[in-house]
Amino acid sequence: MIDIQTLLIYAIPVLFAITVHEAAHGWVASLLGDHSAKMMGRVTLNPIKHVDLVGTIIVPAFLYFTAGFIFGWAKPVPVNFRALRSPKKDMLWVAIAGPMSNFIMATLWLIVVFVAINTGSQFLADMAQVGIQINLLLAVLNLLPLPPLDGGRVVSSLLPSKLAYQYDQLEPYGLFILLGLLFLGVFQTVILPIVKLIQHWAYTLVGLI
């Protein structure tokens, strides 16, 4: 039997996290001259526009029923970097917009945790804690300096053109490299400790620890 309450506690924060992350990329790209995402209706908080069959539905459902937690991703927002007013420089801001939106959402969920605890809403408190963790996880993971992750785009924008071109050649293999790193324990030894450190610092800041 499906525990609907637990499903909602995980699904709602995950859906918001991946939706806002992608919309942020499109919004900043539009501000800087590339309107591809805007013309395709992707600069929106409507989650339906960002749903990816595998990343938003199949993988989260599989993880929920097999591992007891939910994780996923949205359909990537199209960005034509050549249409940006200053492609190399503006690529940094488009890339960093996604992780920054996750840090902002983590902050908003932190406020929700504070309110929920003081009003005695355990359901909302649990959801908000998941919201904090999933947003910090997405932000830190996407900041890994590996194309096509956002961190890879940031590194590429900062490198000299020749080095950036060579670095970008890693992109077709980026997913396989990431999976290999995760298999070797990067998630447990690097990503998760950083997430827990930021989360502990945030809770301490608002007096929840």
Catalytic (active-site) positions? 22
CA distance 155 to 153: 5
Contacts of 161 (CB under 8 A, 6+ apart): 88
Largest CA distance in the chain: 57
CA distance 23 to 45: 7
3-state secondary structure 93-121: HHHHHHHHHHHHHHHHHHHHHHHHHHHCC
CA distance 38 to 53: 21
Fill in the amino acid letter for 66: T
N- to C-terminal Cα separation, the chain: 35
